[in-house]
Structure 1
Amino acid sequence: MKVDVLVVGAGLAGLHTARLLALQGFDVLVCERRGSLDVGIRTTGIFVRRTLEDFALPGHLLGPAVRRVLLHPPSLRAPVELTSAHDEFRVADMAGIYAHALSEARLAGARVHLGVPYPVPGITARFTVGADGARSSVARRLGLDVNRRLIIGAEEVFRVNAGASAPTFHCVLDPRLAPGYLAWLVDDGEHAHVGLAGHPGRLAAPLPRLLRSFRDGFPDVPVPAGPVRRRGGPIPVGGVLRRIACAEGLLVGDAAGAVSPLTAGGLDPCLRLSRLAAAVTGDYLRTGDPSVLRHYDGAALRARFRGRLLLRDVLSRMGSPATAELAFRLLRTRPGRVAAAHLLFGDGSFPDQSPVVAIR
């Protein structure tokens, strides 16, 4: 069987791209190796303000809004508090988000087959979209760039007593727990999301043990025993890959490295890059003109993240608690607080691209 577009991976990036292509009238088939989308979830599900404003997300699947952030040094003493006048973060029920995205893709006309690995026997496609994660098989088969800089993350989700405290996003910078990244606890008044990530070769212990020690020692937030969900996996932090498209296909989401190099946030880049990918793919299939693919330029996107890539390198080199404590002296100054607020609350996220105009 021949289809216009084969989308490999039924995460948010794959389903969003598939839906937009199906709405353009293309014959779209999605294959996903998992038999169910509510297993193997890796993202923490934190949506930022700009995503919430620009994309229609089902409100009943989003937790309460978070406006308060506490940045903690390794000692957990004297955290830096930042408060926004806006609703900055909402944590989603990602199993529900995936189910909603699956329904929307199918309503648009895309066929979605679960429990089907790639390559799919008997299927040929005019174009392939790789939405198959940080270690993309599509990227390798098409000769596109692959992610080389990865951290490993793990998260547990607990129910908490509603209204026990103001919704707060706690970030802990401690290279003993999370070398090269950070540990986090998001308490939105309904659930506590407790996680950490770091370079796998520098982790002092297995992730479950580190996660337990972090959770048990964290102040102020009583986390009950028994998580309701666990998730984790590799996170690309090297920025958008340079070569993410060719005449046979392109990459979206984690497969394209579309994750903030500094915060490792991937949901906003996922949706924005998928929208661009669907526009470029549609124009390319309609015109057959390979120059259309120049609009999907990973190197140009990557250039927008030079500052965050530099900060990623600084964070990666922070090897001792003493260094982290010293960094917090700068964060406690007025310029440091302004810079942190700009990074956490600013409108800058994944850059929107100008609309793709078909070349006739």
Structure 2
Amino acid sequence: MRTVDVLVVGAGLAGLHTARLLAGRGLNVMVVDRRRSLSAGIRTTGIFVRRTLDDFDLPGHLLGPGIRDVLLYPPSRRAPIRLTSDRDEYRVADMPALYQDARSAAESAGARVVLGVRYLGATRGVVHLAGAEPVRARFIVGADGARSRVASDLGLDVNRRWLVGAELVHPIASGTDVPAFHCVLDPRVAPGYLGWVIDDGRHAHVGVAGYPHAMRTGIRHLLDAFAADAPGRAAPTGPIERRGGPIPVGGVLRRLACPAGLLVGDAAGAVSPLTAGGLDPCLRMSELAAAVAADYLRTGDRHVLGRYDGGALRARFRGRLLLRRAFAGIRSPAAAEAAVAVLRGRTGRALAARVLFGDGSFPDVVPHLAAPAIDRPH
């Protein structure tokens, strides 16, 4: 039976980033994922916000052109509100290539990444896997998505509120227009959320999301109907890829860690509960999680785990959680038209710009400890 210091379940961005940081501290790290290819089962558009681009060393050649314009549309799609920043606010990543890059970085740091292996459960430090022999792990990192099995097995909190999102990704002619982020507020196609169109310079992403109970005609029907007349570069041409999955919107979970392991990424509720920017808290929380886990494994002091406190992290989302509740209350086209009308004024535009462009729009999570490297046995 293989023995590791840390087993990371899930090879998404949060799992791979956490694995790289832990391996870089000298820990014996193994990552497992049920997918046989990291290009399969992608659930995110891959929108990176300015703060992420400023603070993290992302491979520029895998990112689309900078986006400065956001257009907000009412249900009528008439007279959208254009908000323009003087800086690049968004870039859309080639996610299959970015995942592969993150995998290579984790492996270069010393982590072992194994695909095509499904997590079945853990008992007293022994992790049972489908497709591989059991692994004995001192610590488990749950990076296995919004409906995390690891969270349940470790007795940690689980996501209770989410949207369901879906999008079409199709090729476009590059360089024909200045890229923009089109957001449509229309509860008929995206109840409680937005329809969107954004591109990465090579592909257009056309998507919708909403509360499952309100999507009476089904998300695929809503997506196809929206794509037929969505603004921007919406008309699908050529091969089409479909993406989708649950989006946690209840905020960071309160109980994120225990002596057996912790949660990162969607499993921790670490996405923006309003719009875009979910990859930013994903990376920031992963850095804190790696620092805490490494220090705990070095010292055995359970009090260290208290520094990965979901309650404290959740407080950083307070404003966005309030906005999410307000957003969820927009249930008719007339209410959506009225909401967009309010945003047309000076105060409304300033509020929208602050949410979409402001430095304080996304939580700043800084590790409070830096664990020294742990010597790996030779």
Q: Shorter chain as normaliser: what TM range?
A: over 0.9
Aligned to 1:351: 364
1:339 is paired with a residue whose SS is helix
For residue 239 of structure 1, what is the aligned residue in structure 2? 251
Q: Answer yes or no: is the 8 Å Cα contact 1:235–1:264 preserved in 2.
A: no
The aligned residue for residue 125 of structure 2 is none
Q: How far apart are residue 166 of structure 1 and its match?
A: 1.4
Q: Which residue of 2 aligns with 1:21?
A: 22
Question: Structure 1 CA distance, aligned partners of 2:54 and 2:343?
Answer: 29
- Determine which of 204, 218, 222 is the counterpart of 2:216: 204
C-alpha contact 1:6 1:30 (8 A) present in aligned 2: yes
Q: What amino acid is the match of 1:345?
A: F
Is 1:338 matched up with 2:350? Answer: yes
Change (3 A) 1:40 1:358: closer
Mapped to 1, the partners of 2:171 and 2:102 lie a distance apart of 25
Match of 2:134 among 122, 134, 140: 122
TM-score for the superposition, normalised by structure 1: 0.97
User: Over aligned residues, Cα RMSD in angstroms?
Assistant: 1.4
> Counterpart of 1:224 in structure 2: which amino acid?
P
How far apart are residue 222 of structure 1 and its match?
A: 5.4
The match for 1:101 is 102
Give the structure-2-normalised TM-score: 0.92
Match of 1:36 in 2: 37
| Aligned: 1:167 with 2:179 | yes
State the SS of the aligned residue for 1:192: strand
Q: Structure 1 residues 161, 41: closer, same or farther in 2, change over 3 A?
A: same
Residue 6 of structure 2 contacts residue 138 of structure 2 at CA under 8 Å; is this kept in 1?
A: yes
Percent identity (aligned): 65
Distance 2:316 2:100 in 1: 32
User: How do residues 292-331 of structure 1 correspond to structure 2 at under 5 angstroms?
Assistant: 292-331=304-343
Query: 2:227·2:234 contact (CA, 8 Å) conserved in 1?
Result: no
Cα gap change, 1:220/1:26 in structure 2, threshold over 3 Å: closer, same or farther? closer
Per-residue CA deviation, residues 155-197 of structure 1 (Å, 9 max, x unaligned), is 1112222232211100000000000111000135432110010
Q: Residue type of the partner of 1:196? A: V
Deviations 1:79-122 (A, max 9, x none): 11000000111100000000000111111100111111113342
Would you say the 8 A contact 2:264–2:289 is kept in 1? yes
| Partner in structure 1 of residue 160 of structure 2 | 148
Secondary structure of the corresponding residue to residue 118 of structure 2? coil
- The one-letter code matched in structure 2 to 1:64 is P
How far, CA to CA, are the matches of 1:19 and 1:122 in structure 2? 22
Q: State the SS of the aligned residue for 2:167.
A: strand
Question: Per the alignment, in what secondary structure is the counterpart of residue 170 of structure 1?
Answer: strand
CA distance in structure 2 between the partners assigned to 1:237 and 1:285 by the alignment: 31
Q: CA deviation at 1:354?
A: 4.4
The letter for the 2-side match of 1:351 is D
Q: Distance in 2 between matches of 1:74 and 1:274?
A: 37
Identify if the C-alpha distance between structure 1 residues 17 and 357 changes in structure 2 by more than 3 Å, giving closer, same or farther: closer
The verdict on how the C-alpha distance between 1:113 and 1:72 changes in structure 2, with shifts beyond 3 A counting, is same
Deviations 1:225-283 (A, max 9, x none): 34442211011000000000001100000000001111153211111111101100010
Measured after TM superposition, the shift of residue 61 of structure 1 is 0.7
Aligned-residue offset at 1:205: 1.6
> Do 1:66 and 1:188's aligned partners in 2 also have CA atoms closer than 8 Å?
no
Moved more, 266-275 or 205-214: 205-214
**Contact 2:148-2:158 at 8 Å conserved across structures:** yes
Post-superposition offset of 1:209: 1.8
Matched residue, 1:229? 241
Pairwise CA distance, 1:350: 2.3
Q: Cα distance, 1:220 vs. partner?
A: 4.9
Partner of 2:111: 110
Contact 1:252 1:273 in 2 (8 A): yes
Contact kept? 1:166, 1:189, Cα under 8 Å: no
Q: CA-to-partner distance for each residue in 1:120-142, whole Å, 9 max, x for gaps?
A: 34211111000000000100000
Residues 1:189 and 1:129: Cα distance change in structure 2 (over 3 Å): closer
1:273 is aligned to 285
| Partner Cα distance (2:237, 2:176) in 1 | 17
Q: Which residue of 2 aligns with 1:91?
A: 92
1:20–1:92 CA distance, 2 compared to 1 (3 A)? same
Which shifted more, 299-308 or 119-128? 119-128
Distance 2:230 2:96 in 1: 27
What is the distance in 2 between the residues matched to 1:108 and 1:307?
A: 37
**SS at 1:181's partner residue?**
coil
Corresponding letter in the other structure for 1:166:
V
The separation in 2 between residues aligned to 1:18 and 1:135, in whole angstroms, is 20
The secondary structure found in structure 2 opposite 1:134 is coil
Once the two structures are superposed, what CA deviation does each residue of 1:339-358 show, in whole Å capped at 9, x if it has no partner? 10011011121222242156
The aligned residue for residue 203 of structure 2 is 191
Gaps of 5+ in 2: 120-127, 373-378
Conserved 8 A contact 2:175-2:201: yes
Which whole-Å CA distance do the structure 1 matches of 2:193 and 2:234 have between them?
24
